[in-house]
Amino acid sequence: MPAPPIFLAFASGDNDVRGKQLVVSNINACQIVADAVRSTLGPRGMDKMIVESNGKATISNDGATIMKLLDVVHPAGKMLVDIAKSQDVEVGDGTTSVVLIASELLKQVKPYVDEGVHPQVIIKSFRKATELAIEKIKELSIKIKKDDKAGLRAVLEKCAATTLSSKLLSSHREFFSKMAVDAVMLLDELLPMDMIGIKKVTGGNMEESILVSGVAFKKAFSYAGFQMQPKHFKNPYIAMLNVELELKAEKENAEVRVENVEEYQKIVDAEWQILYDKLQSIHDSGAKVVLSKLPIGDVATQWFADRDMFCAGRIPLEDLKRVQKACGGSVQTSTQKLAKESLGTCGDFEEKQVGSERFNFFTECPLTKACTLVLRGGAEQFIDEMERSLHDAIMIVRRALKHDSVVGGGGAIEMELSKYLRDFARTIPGKQQLIISSYARALETIPRQLCDNAGFDSTNVLNELRQKHAQGAKWYGINVFTEGIADTYVACIWEPALVKINALTAASEACCQILSVDELIKHSKGANEYEAPDALPGRGRGRPAM
């Protein structure tokens, strides 16, 4: 069923909207946006099917993916979309959490806005609470010992498994968490994401997915003579070209006037000679594997086959660049004077069968380390969701490796922060005490939603958690697999501290921005005509519809 666009009116009437009325309207808009992803949180979260206007269906429980596909037109609602995107880019996980926290913070302070508390008082309190919460996370977080390779790997695998437990791959999280850690460990110190390629092959079992230590891509379109080419080389030189090695037909408006057949034959011979000169130049350079972004025709394919060379044309630019970074050399736009210095090399090149596809594998690359994940599965939508899930796991492993500190997941850190902020609020007077207490209540939305999505009684479970945290058990959270509460650190339900720090910072900033807006001004287009602001692309004249 197609997901309807989220259209929200700013307010009723044609007059400009300002003050408390606008703030409440914006808070209501954020509530509706958050409700779209609320049920996707956690290991027992539900998936959403979003059907676009062209009929393409996307099935996902990734918060950022859902928020991108929803047609949110309300400016305040779009801010939640933006913070979900920023969380996805910066950390890779926690996209649903950041939207829920921002929505709950606004919900908790809505009564104070109704009662006339000035938004700047709320904003000041939010900033203070966020500062305290981040300091507490840094104090509570547990450092990863990078000297202990086995221990470091175990921690990274647990972080990846925690991320995958709420994804489609949860039943195979041990297999894929190891794959995600292996992929990151194969990279160099800078951990560049563009050196991790993900290729999808439909069919087969999920656990038939493989990790290639090098560059791999699907066999390009091939011409006659391709079967005669060798498919395996040791230490070959690789020529990477942006040159068309094909005889082209004349354009329709081309005109060549000749007096006799001999002149025509000379023209044909010259064209063929140009092509043969290019091919000979490549052969003379010592290259054994020829890759080109542009087509390599049947004449060139057969010519290379006769000389025991491998060629592949129409290689995607992304794959060509990865080969260049991993194997060295440079992409050439001309074959003249092709020197060995401009060629790449690898320890082993081979073409193999993967499912119904042929793949070219470049392994034992001498320069920048690279890897490729070849994913197997059933339906296309299923493999797409596998790719999104593995992307999140890889991002989490990278962040954990770079920032080397973890905290307990399953809502444990949120409950501990909530307790800490409640205790702090009792030590200060005035309205700030009420706002920081509301901030503390809002943090409990994460464990509460985990309970609701798993079918537990959230009231009883949260009361148990409050009791445990009041007694000093700081890592107690929800364990949906045992249907109760547990010490998440002992249960190895871990998350990088950066995920929580970034989520709280982004959510707080978005809330402060929404609360600080006190007037909506519409651009008049005539006597009685109004048009929605530029923030609403594609809307017609008049008031936006609900």
List active site positions. 62, 95-96, 392
Q: How far apart are CA 502 and CA 102, in angstroms?
A: 12
- For helices 497-515 and 20-35, what crossing angle results, to 10°? 140
Q: How far apart are CA 276 and CA 337, in angstroms?
A: 14
Per-residue DSSP letters for 414-442? HHHHHHHHHHHHTTS-SHHHHHHHHHHHH
Q: How far apart are CA 250 and CA 255, in angstroms?
A: 9
DSSP label at residue 58: E
Helical segments of 55-185, H only: 63-69, 75-90, 95-114, 119-140, 149-164, 173-185
C-alpha gyration radius of the chain? 29
On whether the CB atoms of residues 334 and 182 are closer than 8 A, the answer is: no
Q: What are phi and psi of 307, to 5 degrees?
A: -110, 20
On whether the CB atoms of residues 335 and 242 are closer than 8 A, the answer is: no
Q: What token pair was written down for 29?
A: 């808009």
Pairing state between β 232-234 and 57-60: unpaired
Q: How far apart are CA 300 and CA 509, in angstroms?
A: 59
Report the residue count for the chain. 546
b/e code 449-474 from CB counts within 10 Å (16+ = b): bbbbbbebebeebbeebbebbeeeeb
Q: How many CB atoms lie within 10 A of CB 218?
A: 18
Per-residue DSSP letters for 258-291? -SSHHHHHHHHHHHHHHHHHHHHHHHHTT-SEEE
DSSP label at residue 233: E
